[in-house]
Amino acid sequence: METYRTPDERFAGLESFPWPPSYADVPDQDGGTLRMAWVEAGPSDGPVALLLHGEPTWSYLYRHVIRVLVDAGVRVVAPDLVGFGRSDKPLATTDHSFARHVEWVRSLVLDELDLHDITLVGQDWGGLIGLRLVAEHPDRFAAVVAANTGLPTGDFDMPEIWWQFRRAVESAPSLDIGRFVEAGCLHGLAEADRLAYDAPYPVEEAKAGPRVMPTLVPTRPDDPATEANRAAWEVLTGWEKPFLTPFSDGDPITGAMAPILRKLVPGAAALEHPTIEGAGHFLQEDAGEELGRVVAAFMGR
């Protein structure tokens, strides 16, 4: 597996993201290893929140959430998915699959970090991957916060706006990562934040992860990930631990998933599910502190 490792100097000067990275090698499932990065903050003996980002962001997305959770005494672990942020980036799109991304995160979180009693906070692909982990290793998770995410099986079509996004990513000669993130925010991005999202990718060929991820979402019943996602749903429809769905009010891509999750997951039934108002798909950017307060209150209930 041929990979790219972003030079450290690309991440210099991120004043709003002061936490130093940690690194571990995980099996690449091709006979070698990949280096995965994560940031950790808060008390080492605090309750654990696992913050999983999606496409095409990295753990920088959670900087506002992290501050609120740390002030609440939460131990925060925020990895960068393989192909994103400070983690290694396989250069071939064929090196990426839904199953591999689940296994890469599992190797880091459960094997290397050996986390237990985890509260998952997953948005976008962070929910797709995280919900699979919850379903496949339910004993390691205490609760779930699913925000602007879901777990497609390919049995129902994705919304047209998602197909527009997928086509735009597939066809763009040069993938403008910062612009794509900004398009998912209702309040835009500061120039420094756009540069932070561009930082992991000084060369175009390193963007194989962001470019291929939309194609890995199951869109037909015979997708390679469909069987495993259906199996995950069988577990989730019996999940009675707390399951919170603080979706934003301005995300046309995932908004329809909120009532489905609340209806089908038993652990969601007895909870009040807040709506994060004035926020788009990347609600961590538009309303990160509010989301942090919601998660902190949920974990301290």
What does the pLDDT look like over 251-266, one tens digit per residue?
999 999 999 999 999 9
Distance between CA atoms of residues 292 and 176, nearest Å: 28
pTM greater than 0.95: yes
**For residue 156, which of 64, 221, 108, 94 has the smallest C-alpha distance?**
221
Handedness of CA 199, 178, 150, 258 (dihedral sign): positive
> What's the pLDDT tens digit per position in 84-101?
999 999 999 999 999 999
Mean pLDDT of the chain: 97
- Residues written for the chain: 301
Mean pLDDT score, 22-38: 97
Is 53 assigned a catalytic role?
Answer: no
Annotated catalytic residue, options 80, 124, 193, 223: 124
**For residue 71, which of 271, 286, 300, 247 has the smallest C-alpha distance?**
300
Q: What percent of the chain has pLDDT over 70?
A: 100
Pairing of strands 89-90, 3-4: antiparallel
> What band does 301 get if pLDDT is binned at 50, 70 and 90?
confident
Annotated catalytic residue, options 28, 95, 251, 286: 251
Q: What three-state secondary structure class fits 159?
A: coil
Annotated catalytic residue, options 28, 64, 281, 286: 281
Q: Is the pLDDT of residue 170 over 90?
A: no
Is 273 assigned a catalytic role?
Answer: no
Q: Tell me if 87 sits within 8 A of 57, measured CB to CB.
A: no
- Amino acid 23 reads Y
Measured in whole angstroms, how far is the alpha carbon of residue 25 from the centre of its chain?
A: 20
Is 101 assigned a catalytic role?
Answer: no
- Amino acid 109 reads V
User: How many angstroms separate the Cα of 108 from the Cα of each of 79, 97, 122, 211, 291?
Assistant: 9, 17, 16, 23, 25
Mean pLDDT score, 116-124: 98
Q: Which residue has the tokens 């990718």?
A: 201
Q: Tell me if 213 sits within 8 A of 117, measured CB to CB.
A: no
